[in-house]
Amino acid sequence: MVGKMRSGKGPTLSEADDLVHQRSRLSILAILYEAGEVEFGEIRRLTKLSDGNLSRHLQTLEEGKLVRSRKGYLGRRPRTWVTLSAPGRTAFEREIEILRGVVADAESMKRGAARSARAGQTADT
């Protein structure tokens, strides 16, 4: 229903990409958008996902070409670093545009309801 509310310009919530919109994947993309290349352990710490859960979400994002990963070593310890791809950056920015529109619509509806309530009070007096 919320996706149908949009009276302004821009994409609606119903147009959100489920690959990006899913809560854990959106968190991962937000981290990468802000920080650039991030080590797996740091993403795990920030998202509070288990190793297995995070691995699966990263695999899904990689299959969707939204992120890239590279493996290497830090000292003798194997590490995985993840970066946002160009299509991933575009997809994340589109998701943010959609969410901003939803928030703007909600705020507009709230202001409209407040105006209607005030108008009703004025008519009653």
Domains of the chain by range and CATH? 17-124 (1.10.10.10)
- Alpha helices (runs of H) in 23-85, residue ranges in sequence order: 23-35, 40-47, 51-63
Higher pLDDT: 114 or 63? It is 63
Give pLDDT tens digits for 20-64: 989 999 999 999 999 999 999 999 999 999 999 999 999 999 999
**Pairing relationship of beta strands 67-74 and 38-39 according to DSSP bridges:** unpaired
Q: Residue 76 and residue 47: Cα distance in Å, rounded?
A: 26
Strand order across the beta sheet in which 77-84 lies: 38-39, 77-84, 67-74
- Using left for φ > 0, alpha for ψ between -120 and 50, and beta otherwise, residue 48 falls in left
User: Closest by alpha carbon to 18, among 98, 111, 125, 107?
Assistant: 98
Of all residues in the chain, the percent with pLDDT exceeding 70 is: 82
Count the neighbouring beta carbons within 10 Å of the beta carbon of residue 30: 16
Split at pLDDT 50, 70, 90, the class of 117 is: low
Query: Could you tell me the end-to-end alpha-carbon distance of the chain, in angstroms, rounded to an integer?
Result: 36
pTM of the predicted model as reported, rounded to 2 decimal places: 0.79
β partners of residue 28: none
Location of structure tokens 């821009």: 10
* pLDDT given for residue 108 in this prediction: 84
Give pLDDT tens digits for 73-88: 999 999 999 999 999 9
